[in-house]
Amino acid sequence: MLKSGAIWALGAMSGTSLDGVDAAMVLTDGLTISDFGPHAYRPYTALEQSTLRAALGQWPGDPAVQAAAEVVETAHAEVLSRFRGVDVVGFHGQTLAHDPGGRGTHQAGDGALLSNVLGLPVVWDFRSNDVAMGGQGAPLAPFFHHACARWIGATEPLVFLNLGGVGNLTWIDPKIERPEAPGALLAFDTGPANAPVNDLLRMRLGADFDRDGAVASTGTVDEAAVTHFLGHNYFYRMPPKSLDRDAFSSTFRTYDAMTTENAAATLTAIAAAAVAKGLEHCPMPPTRILVTGGGRLNPVLMRELTTRTGLPTAHVESENLNGDMLEAQAFAYLAVRISRGMPTSGPTTTRVATAIGGGRISRPPSPAISG
């Protein structure tokens, strides 16, 4: 049984970029943030990345899934075991496939196994209940973004924008106390972010990503291609809505004729233009955008965001938040909410019919009583 009040939760996230595992601690009662604790990062090796990439798009029982799950479990056990003073763990796992309204959602990794290894309660399988209840199962960080907006003292509507493999946006009215309350939040995936550029450079240059936007900065944006891309029906669907990492992969094959530099510049512009298009759905214009995720470190992408949205755009670090760890912190926060029966998603974040919680809670076996 978890103690009452604020407790130390340890969250872990392995994102669609497949770079590694982020882990971070948050002191919270499930509503407000009291403090942020230590954090760590465990990169995947090239072999581990290859194993995970081979399992993308696969479902439980498919050939490559077991090997991927073992990579996920081993990496998480290694990094999570470094922490002390933990009351509960939030384990997201590695998303391999996401098909709300179809086959469901699949995150590789066994939380029960981790609970036994760590000797701690582990909250996991965060998305399945939402999907089973008719929601999109993503994004799940918005309830945490709401807590962060109140922690930094925001008083006017703002947007938290996560630029990972896929972009996702959370519009927040911080004057509303509870994230599940009507009008507090709107969240949805904006479109592709880093994944298409990463895949392009991996295929053509053997690079994992466009460091500092160096390749995109030497290319020319094909504005006609950007406009054509924004004609995709996804951008006209009302939010909440979510995407799989490779949802637009067939579309990007048409860019094969471009030079690497021009393709990188165009794909980077598309990521920003998709965000600008997404802002049209917000209940009222935000006053600013706070950016988290790896994309915030790409100055070309940040410039494109400012230009195409017309809004002040800054790293979350400008508000003393950690853009590398925000998603891991989110699953620490959500673990506490789930442990206390509080909702983690709602109609305006995942399109589920009503605010609900989710996840499974695994606890280590009780020690045997001798004598």
* Three-class SS of 170-222: EEECCCCCCCCCCCCEEEEEEEECCHHHHHHHHHHHCCCCCHHHHHHHCCCCC
Q: Annotate 82-105 with b (16+ C-beta within 10 A) or e (fewer).
A: ebeebbbbbbbbbbbbbebeeebb
Q: Which range (83-87, 139-143, 287-291) has the least confidence?
A: 139-143
Query: From the centroid of its chain, how far is CA 165?
Result: 9
Give 45's contacts (C-beta < 8 A, 6+ positions apart): none
First to last CA, the chain: 25
**Share above pLDDT 90 across residues of the chain, in percent, rounded to a whole number:** 85
Give 107's contacts (C-beta < 8 A, 6+ positions apart): 92, 93, 94, 95, 96, 124, 125, 126, 127
Task: Provide the pLDDT for residue 358.
Answer: 86
> What is the three-class DSSP state of 120?
coil
Region 324-351: what's the mean pLDDT?
96
Which residue has tokens 């960080």?
141
Q: What is the pLDDT of residues 13-22, one digit of tens each?
A: 998 778 899 9
Judge whether residue 244 has pLDDT over 90.
Answer: no
Distances (CA, A) of 213 to 5, 92, 219, 291, 371: 44, 29, 10, 16, 65
Task: Provide the pLDDT for residue 371.
Answer: 45
Q: Residue 198's pLDDT band (boundaries 50, 70, 90)?
A: very high
Task: Provide the pLDDT for residue 208.
Answer: 87
Distance CA 228, CA 225 (A): 5
| CA 245-249-254 angle, 5° bins | 155
Region 183-192: what's the mean pLDDT?
95
Region 68-72: what's the mean pLDDT?
98
Task: Provide the pLDDT for residue 367.
Answer: 63
Q: Residue 81's pLDDT band (boundaries 50, 70, 90)?
A: very high
Question: Which of the 8 DSSP states describes residue 5?
Answer: S
Tokens of 107: 């995150």
Q: Annotate 117-146 with b (16+ C-beta within 10 A) or e (fewer).
A: bbebbbbbbbbbbbbeeebbbbbbbbbbbb
Mean per-residue pLDDT of the chain: 94
Task: Provide the pLDDT for residue 347.
Answer: 97
